Amino acid sequence: MKPLNHYVLHLRPRSWPIVAGHMAVGYLIAVSPSGWMTHMPKLCLGAIIWSIMLNGGTLAFNSAFDRDTGNIGYLDSPPPVPKRLWFLGLLLMISGGISAFFISYSFTIAYWICFFMSVAYSCPPLRLKARAGFDIAICVIGYGALTTFAGWSCARGSLTPFIVLTCLAFTFLFGTLYPLTQIYQSDEDHSKGDKTFTVAMGLHWSLLFSLLCLFCSFSLFFYLSFLLQSWWYLFLFPLLVWLIILIPWIKRGAGYPAKLGMYRSLWAWIITDLTVVIIFSVLV
């Protein structure tokens, strides 16, 4: 059973609820609370397709080419990479792309954009993960913008200024998170010759970039809450949580526990997601 278990572990199940939860935010702000149950079966199916088949398949496909031996996101001490892991990841992603047609056309378009970005991110000869700038661009678009839009597409297919700006805000927010997920892997990335964004920028400038993206993200959240005449000041709480993580990290630099910081930032992301739902849906 060990080889089978290795396949499952490289799908990184610990990431599934985080991705599904963030996708659900897009759905929950697409309709009023009274209509949340209307498209719930579609949301549940969409969450499985997006978080397990696309996200899990992407992470497995990436692991097949990375062959990391140290701790990676959502997986400590990764087991040896199975021989056909790349095939499992690709099969899952393609199967999810076919299943996406059962959700909506807009969901399907978002899915296939992410599929092609995932392949370009991981697979030689492109392997954009190893090219500083391309790596973060793919991740902020995929996890920040398109995951939010995928949830929205489970209830509504149309693009509105509201969802465009919300997706942009989450794009910046993932710009805050992405460097934090890469810092504790930067030594291994550097040893493999992968010039990721964090390797190219260095620790200090990566953290300052995260801080800049944080302020861009919350500026948009505040602006949208003003437009909706909702309780904008509630966004001060998740902003404070992020700053409590980032400011000490910037001050301590390499002395800050990077892995712990990454998982703390995931909690900050979850708190931000919940605040967005409360302000943009529950209290509107």
- What is the sign of the dihedral through the CA atoms of 39, 42, 44 and 50? negative
pTM: 0.93
Cα–Cα–Cα angle for 230, 280, 141, nearest 5°?
130
Q: Phi first, then psi: what are they for 157, rounded to 5°?
A: -100, -15
* Six-digit token string for 27: 């759905």
What is the predicted pLDDT for the residue at 190? Answer: 67
pLDDT tens figures, 102-158 = 999 999 999 999 999 999 999 988 889 888 899 999 999 999 999 999 999 999 988
What does the radius of gyration of the chain's CA atoms come to, in whole angstroms?
18
pLDDT tens figures, 51-77 = 999 999 999 999 999 877 666 777 777
The yes or no reply on domain 2-282 and CATH 3.40.50 is no
* Six-digit token string for 164: 């465009």
